[in-house]
Chain A
């Protein structure tokens, strides 16, 4: 395989996927969004066109504060994907947003990602792209 002259790129979400396109369109304005059912108050995430609790279609978009805590994480030390291989080692984490949704992302901004801890407070840090922004997260204080 010949070396590409361009740096490898992060795989980006599709703006055409039926249920999640609206989420990604809202990231252009750096809005981190989730849905709440107007009928039963259920928080719905990942986004859908129906409520996963009552099957209703009255979902309202809400904007999250971008603040949350690390529920769990791993530091990846081996990847065959060109972009992610270029970023090794890096942290992936399930993050519980303070409004309730659990989102998968990267925790960035640590000199050594292995120093991350469960329960770490984090906040969103946007990585802008042409048609959308990627919600990454960074620590906001030292772990307790």
Chain B
């Protein structure tokens, strides 16, 4: 562990509390409000920020637009835009930029009003024609849910995985959500029916959206956002909270290839890089914050990240293994309630960092006693056709 770098740490976090802003707040306002809260959490000020990371969801000229809106003149701007994994990339890049001496206090923000805008993220058709791949695929009417469902179908075919095994992902995250007042409020505001802990039967008996994925295997569509502040080591040690160090990271892409294996994601490339850099093995991880767009996303990523072998995920997750109160059995999954039951405004990656930090500070609603190491793994794009993966290993002193 002594070889682990301590270049940069997450020192401030904020998760925007509302999941339904009723059209009264803009995504930019969510970003600015979250930035203020995260800086206050760190004990830093607006003028301390010298680097901005933004996923460009506001449109073109993202780096310029966000700086002007904030009223900052940063020395570093990074607008890496890889969907829900953008924030894992941003955290990795912020650490790199800080280690290179280009910045000292980095600000990551996210804001979305996907729910208020009534965006059909999961069940809409894709707009066609902009990218050659879209021009080849849009005619088929594949929805986003079906894109992931095709991974699940193939996983079942190759490895015998069952819907009940996939349902373990949903029941574990729902159990965590019920312990998180913000998640319960989110489900109320988004008019979930029957807000309670779910059983495996509840999940497999819920309405089929795209075979074999059921309603309770699909994430919510909320409003929301948040902010993360990352600081150089000397700054971090003077901040209000325990520094959460960025120990390692990995990035990867995956896209449809002729003859390729749809059940293996880009995590199989990004995970080993991140673990190697951190000098950490999957078995040492206490907290797995893994992008739960759908149940199958988590199952495939757990395998690809090395928590179990390829194809073994179904049996591995059985019996409530992913719950926060089973630390002897491996990492706790998405202890905030995840995208399935707490917060998914379209690009959830920033919340993976935020809840990992809560756990390593000892502040989670589903706290794992003595949690020391976490992975935040973002999957951006679509699991079944083309996506980016960002893995970040986090640890406390």
Contact = CB atoms under 8 A, between A and B. Distances in A.
Interface of A: 10-14, 17-20, 23-24, 43, 45-48, 71-81, 83-84, 87, 90, 92-94, 96, 100-106, 114, 118, 134
B262 A76 contact: no
Name the 9 nearest CB pairs between A and B, nearest first. Answer: A81-B125, A84-B141, A74-B149, A72-B154, A74-B146, A19-B132, A75-B211, A17-B135, A14-B129
A79 B132 contact: no
B195 interface: no
A102 B260 contact: yes
Contact of B141 (A12, A23, A71, A92): A92
Given A74-B149, A83-B141, A94-B150, A11 B128 contact: yes
Contacts of B150: 72-74, 92-94
A89 B153 CA distance: 17
A54 to B, nearest CB: 15
Interface in B246-262: 256-260, 262
Given A79-B143, A105-B139, 19 more contacts: A10-B141, A11-B139, A12-B139, A17-B132, A43-B258, A46-B132, A71-B262, A72-B150, A73-B150, A74-B211, A76-B143, A77-B208, A77-B210, A81-B124, A90-B141, A92-B146, A106-B140, A106-B141, A114-B211
Interface in B185-239: 207-213
Contacts of B154: 71-72, 118
Given A11-B128, A11-B138, A102-B259, A78 B145 contact: yes
Given A78-B145, A79-B123, A102-B257, A73 B153 contact: yes
Given A19-B132, A73-B153, A102-B260, A78 B139 contact: no
A81 B385 CA distance: 20
A17 B129 contact: yes
A46 B137 CA distance: 10
B120 interface: yes
A92 B143 CA distance: 9
B383 to A, nearest CB: 12
A44 to B, nearest CB: 9
Interface in B119-167: 120, 123-125, 128-129, 132-133, 135-143, 145-146, 149-151, 153-154, 157
Interface string B70-105: 000000000000000000000000000000000000
Contacts of A45: 258
Given A13-B129, A72-B154, A81-B125, A104 B136 contact: yes
20 contacts: A10-B139, A11-B128, A17-B132, A46-B132, A72-B150, A72-B157, A74-B145, A74-B146, A74-B149, A76-B145, A76-B146, A77-B209, A78-B143, A78-B209, A78-B210, A80-B124, A100-B258, A102-B258, A104-B385, A118-B154
A43 B257 CA distance: 10
A64 to B, nearest CB: 12
Contact of B136 (A13, A74, A81, A83): A13
B49 to A, nearest CB: 40
Given A73-B153, A80-B120, A81-B124, A104 B141 contact: no
Given A74-B146, A118-B153, A118-B157, A81 B132 contact: no
Contacts of A104: 136-137, 140, 142, 256, 385
B153 A76 contact: no
Nearest to B148: A74
A8 to B, nearest CB: 11
B157 A20 contact: no
A43 B143 CA distance: 27
Contacts of B258: 43, 45, 96, 100-102
A47 B140 contact: no
A138 to B, nearest CB: 14
A80 B126 CA distance: 11
Contacts of A24: 135
Contacts of A48: 132
B150 to A, nearest CB: 4
Contacts of A101: 258
Nearest to A19: B132
A47 to B, nearest CB: 7
A84 B137 CA distance: 14
Nearest to B147: A74
Contact of A76 (B133, B138, B210, B212): B210
A84 B210 CA distance: 13
Contacts of B142: 74, 76, 92, 104
Contact of A79 (B133, B141, B157): B141
A6 B209 CA distance: 27
Most buried by B among A76, A106, A114: A76
Contact of A94 (B138, B141, B212, B262): B262
Nearest to B128: A11
A76 B148 CA distance: 12
